[in-house]
Structure 1
Amino acid sequence: MKTSYVIIGFVSIALLQLTMSARIIWKQERVLVTGTAYKFKTAPIDPVDPFRGNYITLRFDENTFFIKNHKYKRGDKVRLSLKQDSEGFAMVTAIGKEDQPVTHDYIWATVSYVTEDFIRYDIPFNRFYMEEGKAKEAEIAYRDTHRLCPLEKVYALVYVREETAVLKDVYIKDIPIKEYVLQERASRIK
């Protein structure tokens, strides 16, 4: 009798874990299929920033909002209303708190620095995970492209739906970074 309770409990917990994992995956996939794609321009990273695991560190050009007479402080969660410019790049059109009405797609960010005239914020999708064998090369390509070719487009493609944002890929010269790394490898071999 006791064994059957243990088995039922184990199966229930396993099903609960599978259900929760499936729900998270489904939500992200739904955003990728039905969300709006925004390109976030990236900025160069500090060349001495150490490589931390199997991802590249992203820094974004769009990280400041100019606003006077605000009541934001460091650490506040803020909602960034988004629009696309003529090339599809993300522009922050408004900044607000949870209780303010939403008129556009938006993402959540954290206020990192405040002055009288502007707010600097951190966008939550600042890491792009990759296969271990390509991540270091990708970070070097990302950094070098910003340093050596500052006019080249380097951006993160992010899908936004409701309040969920999913980082799909990072592009260098309009090529997905994984493919770009492979092309760079092939050109060094020749």
Structure 2
Amino acid sequence: MNKMKIIVPAFIIMVLLQWYFPLKAVWQSEHILATGNEYKFRTMPVDPKDPFRGKYVTLNYEATTVPIDEADAWQTISEAYGIIQLDTEGYARFVALQKTQPASSIDYMKVKIDNIKAGEDPKAIVALPFKRFYVEESKAKAVEDLYRKHQRDPNSVTYALVAVKGGEGQLKDLQVNGTSILEHVQVE
């Protein structure tokens, strides 16, 4: 009888914890998407298929090179905070890296440092945390073809629409000339 008094509450706690952590992660992602500041990151073409995760478009970004002060000071750093600003065309760029979390009054995103280029103008090559745009299986081929077509067209602009809040970024949409690529697929 005493064992049941311990087992039942322990079981209930275990079940609640199993639901708590996934729901917390979903809530955080949705909160960033709903309340984060939106930025447009220009993309570059690449598109593999992953049979274990479904169809997606892999995204490469133009804004991955960030100026740094001294290359030697960054050689052992693997993660940093990229300070985001808009360029003259309204696209997001990282203008600086910081080793510590910046003040909350500016927009920044936690990024991984892929490479450090030393020289006269030292630079860090960073990787953004959102590299894949997942697509419903039935639309995957059409999205893939349309994305490639617009990447080759010099008159088209493709970019990822990203919500940023508190150093975290969530991919909202893949846009072609200011419209969701999913809307383009339905039209064409």
> What is the TM-score normalised by the length of structure 2?
0.84
Does residue 78 (structure 1) correspond to residue 80 (structure 2)? The answer is: yes
Take 1:99 and 1:156, find their aligned partners in 2: how far apart are those partners? 24
Take 2:10 and 2:55, find their aligned partners in 1: how far apart are those partners? 36
- Structure 1 residue ranges without an equivalent (≥5): 185-190
- The alpha carbon displacement at 1:132 in A equals 1.4
Q: What do residues 45-81 of structure 1 show as CA deviations (whole Å, max 9, x unaligned)?
A: 2xxx532232210000111113342322377111100
Query: Which residue of structure 1 aligns with residue 148 of structure 2?
Result: 143
Query: Which residue of structure 1 aligns with residue 31 of structure 2?
Result: 30
Query: Which residue of structure 2 aligns with residue 113 of structure 1?
Result: 115
Take 2:69 and 2:141, find their aligned partners in 1: how far apart are those partners? 41
- The alpha carbon displacement at 1:160 in A equals 0.6
Take 2:181 and 2:154, find their aligned partners in 1: how far apart are those partners? 16
Take 1:121 and 1:141, find their aligned partners in 2: how far apart are those partners? 27
Take 2:21 and 2:59, find their aligned partners in 1: how far apart are those partners? 29
Take 2:74 and 2:164, find their aligned partners in 1: how far apart are those partners? 24
Take 1:50 and 1:20, find their aligned partners in 2: how far apart are those partners? 31
Q: What do residues 112-162 of structure 1 show as CA deviations (whole Å, max 9, x unaligned)?
A: 122112211111101111211222322222122112x13311010100111
Q: How many residues are aligned here?
A: 180
Take 1:59 and 1:43, find their aligned partners in 2: how far apart are those partners? 5
Q: Secondary structure at the match of 2:75?
A: coil
Structure 1 residues 121 and 77 mapped into 2: Cα distance closer, same or farther (>3 Å)?
same
The partner residue of 2:90 within 88, 91, 102 is: 88
RMSD of aligned Cα (Å): 2.2
Take 1:66 and 1:55, find their aligned partners in 2: how far apart are those partners? 31
- Structure 2 residue ranges without an equivalent (≥5): none
Q: What is the identity, as a one-letter code, of the residue corresponding to 2:162?
A: V
Take 1:105 and 1:68, find their aligned partners in 2: how far apart are those partners? 20
1:154–1:172 Cα contact (<8 Å) kept: yes
Query: Which residue of structure 2 aligns with residue 56 of structure 1?
Result: 57
Q: Secondary structure at the match of 1:138?
A: helix
Take 2:148 and 2:74, find their aligned partners in 1: how far apart are those partners? 32
Does residue 177 (structure 1) correspond to residue 175 (structure 2)? The answer is: no
Q: Secondary structure at the match of 2:90?
A: coil
> What is the TM-score normalised by the length of structure 1?
0.83
